[in-house]
């Protein structure tokens, strides 16, 4: 599923980041293997993620291009 | 390059500073945005600071002497990576490599305790440049509150360099000691191999390079044993539930925009009047008295000093509080953590014209007054965004232009005045969008549909003293930088108004139509004939409008030698005279000509103060090119509207 589809507060593992330039996403912690969770949904489909202790805001289109899978805590 | 600090020949004053700091080694301060870097810089250097633009850019670089460490400290733009994606980040890369100024001898890298892996990544990149490094851990209070404060001593062992846990609000004495020690010792980060990538590295090479550092940061993190995510709902999360809520977030954003708009107009107005009256009142009286005492009263010199130069100083003083209020308001929004959220909330709307969500703030403020809108534009984190925003701001129809619309719409459109004025605002928004789209093509900003990936800093209570001093420094920068242009231009305007060209008047006592100003207006007027307002009164009002739009109505009144109407919606005899003039110059299509004139007023140039500030931000070349283009576009629009409407009306 994509980041946009997952439930709030559900920990998910990033599987694929399908962006033209995935470098900055990777540098901010959004890279295959890391565990993140959606902490807040904004208007127009944007999401806020917990990446480690940080909060990263992602627009709707980018969130659709990040594939994740659920993990057990 | 508008900034006096980046002119190629150092001024004597700057040379003095450089000599005194020459013996100090340079230390570069590097860190992610919003992790307390400027706060650390302020505490370390106190008042011994110098702001300058990095050569050839609009990117600000601060330097200052850190006395207790015996070094010169460079505060470099915040960045997440040395693989730069923006001009601001490139400045940090270049400064570390010694390409902008003196080669740093050491880097102090800030580690965000709440987000260690991301900070360690930047630390690893800095270590690869070969510079000795000292780490300063910030945001410790926030991390401790969330129960995952990394152990600084343990981190120091793992990294092999000094790590100092900071309290952002105190003198960084411990850090000074560590920096002093590291300058003579060997503070090289353990476990980081390799050298920086060349500037022309491919994306694959960059990704591989980053990956090797990710492995290292994960290893460090494992050795530390601090949990990455405690799954706790933080205080910031709870605030975000309200401020970023799909239904609440946008109204809150709209309310803050409204509040900023009020600050730039209603709140600032009385303070501006007071500041100006200080110069035009007591100071002017004193100058006049002194001139009389030395026998120069009442003459040309008094006119030049009082009506020329002092009027200019008064204008600069009247704008200073407005700029200060706006610098402070934006700094409060930034420091509290809301500005990054604003970018997220407004992202969708601004993305369409290739701008950052944060750019909506300056554009909305622009509808109140263009000048503080430029102040707000300075807070944008990317040089290209600042560039595009600063150029499109003049298309936001400021409140001063509204007075012109009211006068002309009332005179020429009677009962439909309201609709015509509304149309001007629609046109204003359209111009912003079109200009944004054109600039997006020209500058390449936003062409790649850059994803929004924005780190949201934890909310904090804004720090009043730091913000007041920052706003004060920025206001002073405006007064000294843009102030010069304003004073010189207003003095030239006074000279043109004072010098008679016919009719045997004396200098300083001449009706407008017989002054050099009137003669210039007369010479310009034919240019506007195709737009239907080729009369000298309109040309003169437009020339005055170049200085300030709020005096256009007054300029019309002056040109017709009638009293300025108290209320622009009740123009009285001024209305009759305007109708007659526009009727004559448009060949009976006065309404069409008036609309063309209003469109020209909306689009030709912002006021002088805004131009002066653009000059300071963007440099003379860009400002002149942008202004020239705007005047040409405004003329074409006015002519097109007049010629089309003439056919049907």
E strands, B106-155, where? 106-112, 133-138
The yes-or-no verdict on residue B567 having pLDDT over 60 is: yes
Between A28, A35, A73, which is nearest B453 by CB? A28
- Chain B partners within 8 Å of A41 (Cβ): 246
Report the range out of B97-106, B475-484, B558-567 with the highest average pLDDT. Answer: B97-106
Give yes or no for B644 touching A (CB within 8 A).
no
**Residue contact A60–B348, C-beta within 8 A:** yes
**Residue contact B203–A21, C-beta within 8 A:** yes
CA atoms within 13 A on the CB side of B24: 22
**Residue contact B115–A52, C-beta within 8 A:** yes
Query: B455: nearest CA in chain A?
Result: A56
Q: What is the DSSP string of B372-409?
A: HHHHHHTT-SSHHHHHHHHHHGGGS--HHHHHHHHHHH
- Give the whole-angstrom CA distance, residue A53 versus residue B78: 19
Between B81, B231, B250, which is nearest A43 by CB? B250
> Given this model, what pLDDT does residue B230 score?
67
- Report the candidate in B536, B535, B544, B533 with the shortest Cα–Cα distance to residue B496: B544
Rounded to 10 degrees, the C-alpha dihedral B8/B10/B11/B12 comes to -160
Q: What is the pLDDT of residues B310-324, one digit of tens each?
A: 877 888 888 888 889
| Residue B494: φ, ψ to 5° | -60, -45
Query: B34: nearest CA in chain A?
Result: A54
**Residue contact A53–B203, C-beta within 8 A:** no
Alpha-carbon distance A33 to nearest alpha carbon in chain B (angstroms): 11
ipTM: 0.95
User: What is the average per-residue pLDDT within B355-376?
Assistant: 86
Q: What is the pLDDT of residues B48-66, one digit of tens each?
A: 777 777 776 667 788 999 9
> Given this model, what pLDDT does residue B534 score?
94
Query: A73: nearest CA in chain B?
Result: B231
% pLDDT > 90, chain B: 39
- Give the whole-angstrom CA distance, residue B280 versus residue B620: 30
Between A29, A35, A57, which is nearest B344 by CB? A57
Q: What is the pLDDT of residues B576-632, one digit of tens each?
A: 999 999 999 999 999 999 999 999 999 999 989 899 999 988 889 999 999 999 999
> Given this model, what pLDDT does residue B13 score?
39
Q: What is the pLDDT along chain A (73 residues), one digit of tens a residue?
A: 999 898 999 999 999 999 888 999 999 999 999 999 999 998 888 999 999 888 999 999 899 999 999 987 6
Q: pTM for the full model?
A: 0.81
- Give the whole-angstrom CA distance, residue B30 versus residue B134: 10
- Give the whole-angstrom CA distance, residue A41 versus residue A49: 9
Sheet with strand B49-53: strands edge to edge: B49-53, B60-66, B71-75, B26-30, B106-112, B133-138, B163-165
**Residue contact B115–A43, C-beta within 8 A:** no
**Residue contact B231–A11, C-beta within 8 A:** yes
Query: Strand, coil or helix: what is B24?
Result: coil
Q: Give all domains of chain B, ordered by start, each with its CATH number.
A: 4-232 (3.40.50.300), 484-648 (no CATH)
The yes-or-no verdict on residue B300 having pLDDT over 80 is: no
Between A9, A23, A42, which is nearest B345 by CB? A42
Alpha-carbon distance B123 to nearest alpha carbon in chain A (angstroms): 12
Q: Is the dihedral of CA B316, B322, B327, B328 positive or negative?
A: positive
Return the higher-pLDDT residue of B506 and B228.
B506
Q: Give all domains of chain A, ordered by start, each with its CATH number.
A: 3-70 (2.30.30.90)
Query: B143: nearest CA in chain A?
Result: A53
> Given this model, what pLDDT does residue B56 score?
64
The yes-or-no verdict on residue B381 having pLDDT over 90 is: no
Query: Strand, coil or helix: what is B562?
Result: coil
> Given this model, what pLDDT does residue B20 score?
46
**Residue contact B206–A23, C-beta within 8 A:** yes
The yes-or-no verdict on residue B168 having pLDDT over 70 is: no
**Residue contact B451–A41, C-beta within 8 A:** no
Query: A58: nearest CA in chain B?
Result: B453
- Range in A18-27, B41-50, B89-98, B403-412 with the lowest mean pLDDT: B41-50
Give yes or no for A14 touching B (CB within 8 A).
no
Give yes or no for A30 touching B (CB within 8 A).
yes
Give yes or no for A21 touching B (CB within 8 A).
yes
Give yes or no for B345 touching A (CB within 8 A).
yes
Alpha-carbon distance A54 to nearest alpha carbon in chain B (angstroms): 5
CB contacts < 8 A, A to B, total 138
**Residue contact B244–A44, C-beta within 8 A:** no
- Three-state secondary structure along B473-534? HHHHHHHHHHHHHHHHHHHHHHHHHHCECCCCCECCECCHHHEHHHHHHHHHHHHHHHHCCC
Banded model confidence at residue B3, pLDDT cuts 50, 70, 90: very low
The yes-or-no verdict on residue B16 having pLDDT over 50 is: no
Alpha-carbon distance A35 to nearest alpha carbon in chain B (angstroms): 9
- Give the whole-angstrom CA distance, residue B420 versus residue B397: 14
Residues 6 or more apart whose Cβ sits within 8 Å of residue B381: B33, B78, B86, B88, B356, B358
The yes-or-no verdict on residue B400 having pLDDT over 90 is: no
Report the range out of B28-37, B57-66, B119-128, B242-251 with the highest average pLDDT. Answer: B119-128
Query: A62: nearest CA in chain B?
Result: B451
Q: What is the pLDDT of residues B213-227, one digit of tens each?
A: 999 999 999 998 877
- List the beta bridge partners of residue B66: B71
Alpha-carbon distance B112 to nearest alpha carbon in chain A (angstroms): 10
Between B344, B449, B453, which is nearest A24 by CB? B453
- Give the whole-angstrom CA distance, residue B118 versus residue B112: 8
Residue A45 falls in which region: left (phi positive, over 0), alpha (psi -120 to 50) or beta: left
- Chain A partners within 8 Å of B252 (Cβ): none
> Given this model, what pLDDT does residue B191 score?
85
Query: B35: nearest CA in chain A?
Result: A54
> Given this model, what pLDDT does residue B248 score?
92
Give yes or no for B169 touching A (CB within 8 A).
no
- Chain A partners within 8 Å of B233 (Cβ): 39
**Residue contact B453–A57, C-beta within 8 A:** yes
Banded model confidence at residue B245, pLDDT cuts 50, 70, 90: very high
User: What is the average per-residue pLDDT within B339-356?
Assistant: 84
Within the 31-60 window of chain A, which residues sit less than 8 Å (CB to CB) from chain B? 31, 35, 37, 39-44, 46, 48, 50-60
Mean predicted lDDT score pLDDT of chain B: 86
The yes-or-no verdict on residue B85 having pLDDT over 50 is: yes
- Chain B partners within 8 Å of A9 (Cβ): 231
Alpha-carbon distance B348 to nearest alpha carbon in chain A (angstroms): 7
> Given this model, what pLDDT does residue B447 score?
47
Banded model confidence at residue B523, pLDDT cuts 50, 70, 90: very high
Query: B209: nearest CA in chain A?
Result: A23
> Given this model, what pLDDT does residue B7 score?
37
Query: B240: nearest CA in chain A?
Result: A40
Give yes or no for B463 touching A (CB within 8 A).
no
Residue given tokens 């900055």 in the structure block:
A24
User: What is the average per-residue pLDDT within B541-555?
Assistant: 86
User: What is the average per-residue pLDDT within B174-195?
Assistant: 88
- Chain A partners within 8 Å of B207 (Cβ): 22-23, 26
- Range in B120-129, B331-340, B400-409, B555-564 with the lowest mean pLDDT: B555-564
């Amino acid at each position: 599923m994509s980041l946009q589809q997952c439930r709030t507060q559900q920990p998910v593992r990033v599987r694929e980041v399908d962006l033209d330039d995935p470098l900055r996403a990777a540098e901010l912690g959004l890279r295959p293997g890391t565990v993140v969770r959606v902490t807040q949904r904004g208007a127009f489909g944007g999401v806020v993620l917990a990446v480690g202790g940080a909060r990263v805001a992602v627009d709707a289109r980018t969130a659709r291009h990040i594939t994740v899978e659920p993990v057990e805590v | 390059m508008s900034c006096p600090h980046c002119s190629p020949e150092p001024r004597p004053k700057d040379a003095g500073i450089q000599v005194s700091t020459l013996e100090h080694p340079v230390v570069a301060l590097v860190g992610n945005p919003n992790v307390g870097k400027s706060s650390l810089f302020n505490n370390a250097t106190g008042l011994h600071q110098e702001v300058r633009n990095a050569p050839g850019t609009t990117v600000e670089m601060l330097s200052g002497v850190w006395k207790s460490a015996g070094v010169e400290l460079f505060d470099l733009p915040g960045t997440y990576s040395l693989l730069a994606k923006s001009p601001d980040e490139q400045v940090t890369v270049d400064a570390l490599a010694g390409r902008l100024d003196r080669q740093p001898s050491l880097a102090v890298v800030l580690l965000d305790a709440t987000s260690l892996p991301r900070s360690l990544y930047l630390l690893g990149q800095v270590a690869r440049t070969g510079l000795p490094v000292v780490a300063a851990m910030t945001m410790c209070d926030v991390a401790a509150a969330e129960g995952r404060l990394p152990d600084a001593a343990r981190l120091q062992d793992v990294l092999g360099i000094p790590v100092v846990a900071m309290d952002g609000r105190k003198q960084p004495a411990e850090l000074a000691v560590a920096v002093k020690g590291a300058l003579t010792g060997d503070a090289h980060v353990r476990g980081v191999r390799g050298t920086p990538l060349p500037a022309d590295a491919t994306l694959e090479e960059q990704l591989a390079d980053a990956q090797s550092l990710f492995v290292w940061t994960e290893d460090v993190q494992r050795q530390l044993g601090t949990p990455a995510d405690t799954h706790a709902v933080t205080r910031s999360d709870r605030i975000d539930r309200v401020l970023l809520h799909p239904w609440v977030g946008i109204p809150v954003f709209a309310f803050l925009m409204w509040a900023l708009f009020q600050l730039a107009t209603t709140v600032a107005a009385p303070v501006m009047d007071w500041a100006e009256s200080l110069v035009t009142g007591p100071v002017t009286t004193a100058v006049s008295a002194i001139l009389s005492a030395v026998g120069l009263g009442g003459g040309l010199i008094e006119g030049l000093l009082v009506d020329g130069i002092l009027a200019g100083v008064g204008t600069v003083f009247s704008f200073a509080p407005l700029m200060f209020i706006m610098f402070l308001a934006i700094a409060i929004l930034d420091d509290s953590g809301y500005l990054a959220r604003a970018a997220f909330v407004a992202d969708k709307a601004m993305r369409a014209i290739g701008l950052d969500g944060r750019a909506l703030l300056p554009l909305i403020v622009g509808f109140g007054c263009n000048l503080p809108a430029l102040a707000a534009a300075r807070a944008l984190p990317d040089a290209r965004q600042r560039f595009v925003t600063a150029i499109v701001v003049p298309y936001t129809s400021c409140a001063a232009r509204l007075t012109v619309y009211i006068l002309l719409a009332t005179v020429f459109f009677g009962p439909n005045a309201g609709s015509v004025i509304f149309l001007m605002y629609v046109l204003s928004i359209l111009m912003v969008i079109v200009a944004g789209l054109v600039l997006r093509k020209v500058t390449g900003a936003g062409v790649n549909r850059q994803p929004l990936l924005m780190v949201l800093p934890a909310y904090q209570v804004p720090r009043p003293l730091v913000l007041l001093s920052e706003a004060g420094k920025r206001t002073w920068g405006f007064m000294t930088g843009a102030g010069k242009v304003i004073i010189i231009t207003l003095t030239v305007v006074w000279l043109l108004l004072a010098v008679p060209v016919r009719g045997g008047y004396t200098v300083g006592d001449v009706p407008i139509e017989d002054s050099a100003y009137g003669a210039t207006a007369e010479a310009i007027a034919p240019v506007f004939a195709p737009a239907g307002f080729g009369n000298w009164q309109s040309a003169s009002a437009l020339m005055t409008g170049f200085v300030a739009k709020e005096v256009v109505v007054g300029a019309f009144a002056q040109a017709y030698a009638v009293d300025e109407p108290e209320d622009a919606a009740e123009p009285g005899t001024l209305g009759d005279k305007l109708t007659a003039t526009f009727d004559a110059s448009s060949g009976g299509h006065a309404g069409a000509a008036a609309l063309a004139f209003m469109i020209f007023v909306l689009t030709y140039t912002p006021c002088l103060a805004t131009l002066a500030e653009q000059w300071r931000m963007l440099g003379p070349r860009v400002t002149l090119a942008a202004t020239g283009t705007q005047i040409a576009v405004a003329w074409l629009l006015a002519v097109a509207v007049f010629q089309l409407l003439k056919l049907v009306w």
